Amino acid sequence: MLVNAAPGRRAVTVLVAVLVALSALSGCGRGAPSSAAPVTGPGAVTTPPSNASSLAPAAAVSGLPTMVVAQLPKEGVTTLRLVAAGGPFPYSKDGVTFSNREGLLPKHPSGWYQEYTVITPGSSDRGARRIIAGKDGGRFYTSDHYASFREVLSGESS
């Protein structure tokens, strides 16, 4: 037992035991819902669902160049999965309204589009890559911070 342990070491051992017990009781690590703010960074995200049809529509509606989900960088696919799952997102600005000031996406009322970061490995900030999600399920990818877009589809590219 802990009877012969030094007082400082015994306190640390007891503290660790209490923390382990609390995390087990709270469901920590078992997918339990949390009200805490999501942790930022690429390792902090989950990636459900995985099939392309749940991540993007099958048919284009914008007249923009298209790409299929499989053509996105892997971080883009992760972002689509997070959008489909409702988060948690790696950045606090993920999910904010994209106002389409550039006018490159189909015209819709304010609040129609939300933007999400596509993590750029090696970047010290959010980088230039984004997924833009429309209320109708439309998905658009930009790798150059809104200078151009491709509509993301679940199936064949046009």
Q: Please pick, among 75, 102, 115, 156, the residue that the annotation labels catalytic.
A: 115
The answer to whether 129 and 152 are in contact (CB under 8 A) is: no
The enclosing H or E element of 132 equals strand 130-134
Q: Please pick, among 75, 102, 108, 145, the residue that the annotation labels catalytic.
A: 145
Question: Is there a catalytic annotation at residue 108?
Answer: no
Burial class (CB in 10 A: 0-12, 13-18, 19+), 122: exposed
Nearest partner of 127 among 79, 83, 85, 84, judged by Cα: 79
Question: Is there a catalytic annotation at residue 115?
Answer: yes
Q: Supply the residues annotated as catalytic.
A: 115, 145
